[in-house]
Amino acid sequence: MAARDQYAPGPANMAHVQKHGDKWTLILVKELRHPPEKVWQAITDPAHLREWAPFDADGTLGAAGMTVKLTTVGAPGPHVSETTVTRADAPHLLEYTWGDFDMRWQLEAEGGGTRLTLWTNIGRPFIAMGAAGWHICLDVLDHLLSGTPIGRLVGPDAVKFGGWQRLNAEYAKQFGIVSPNWPPMRIKEGESI
């Protein structure tokens, strides 16, 4: 059985939200068993990003001032945004934008591993979907760093995945929101894709 077939995300306990005025911020925290230097490489190097992130990068995100094109994976059409890395304090803090989203990654050494915290702004109706998607991306990152890659699981592939659907529902309940009727495809209980 392939590693992906065995993958099931844990409970929706990785994310929370903050509201400042009209702006919503999704915050995800993931404990990784790998040192910050290894995690830093995975969140900045284009080859590593292609294995787990919801976007491809045409250059490194590891240096302040770098201009990089980020291409959303799995979107109906190519969505390319150009970003400039605004802060890159290796291996601790990384900041840039992805389209309209501010992205801030903080890596803290903890017990031989890393506490990774991601902050990203997001529209309130999409908080649960974003939390479910990033939850899975960070799980895929953990598998990659552990040497048991399960392959990137983003976009329509993630939405079809029962684990994403469960997380989306759990995070929506946790955050007290009703997710929009997007995507229009609905998977019935017990139905396979």
Q: How far apart are CA 187 and CA 101, in angstroms?
A: 29
The pLDDT assigned to 185 comes to 41
Largest CA distance in the chain: 49
The answer to the question of residue 141 being in a domain is yes
Number of domains in the chain: 1
CA distances to 82, 83, 119, 158, 166 from 101, in Å: 12, 10, 10, 20, 24
Is the pLDDT score of 43 beyond 70?
yes
The residue range of the domain holding 47 is: 24-175
Nearest to 103 by CA among 37, 155, 49: 49
CA distances to 63, 80, 102, 137, 181 from 18, in Å: 28, 27, 14, 21, 23
Stretch 19-46: mean pLDDT, rounded?
96
What is the CA 108 to chain-centroid distance, rounded? Answer: 18
The answer to the question of residue 181 being in a domain is no
**Residue 88 CB coordination number (10 Å):** 21
Stretch 92-100: mean pLDDT, rounded?
95
Average pLDDT value for the chain: 90
The answer to the question of residue 15 being in a domain is no
Enumerate the β-bridge partners of residue 102: 97
Stretch 34-41: mean pLDDT, rounded?
98
The pLDDT-based confidence of 102 (bands split at 50, 70, 90) is very high
Is the pLDDT score of 145 beyond 60?
yes
Is the pTM of the predicted complex or chain greater than 0.75?
yes
SS3 letters across 11-66: CCCCEEEEEECCEEEEEEEEEECCCHHHHHHHHHCHHHHHHHCCEEECCCCCCCCC
The pLDDT-based confidence of 190 (bands split at 50, 70, 90) is very low
Higher pLDDT, 116 or 77: 116
CATH number, residue 53: 3.30.530.20
The pLDDT assigned to 129 comes to 94
What order do you get walking across the sheet with 55-57 strand by strand?
Answer: 55-57, 67-72, 80-84
The answer to the question of residue 140 being in a domain is yes
Share of the chain above pLDDT 90, in %: 76
The answer to the question of residue 19 being in a domain is no
Question: Beta strand pairing status for 87-89 and 80-84?
Answer: unpaired
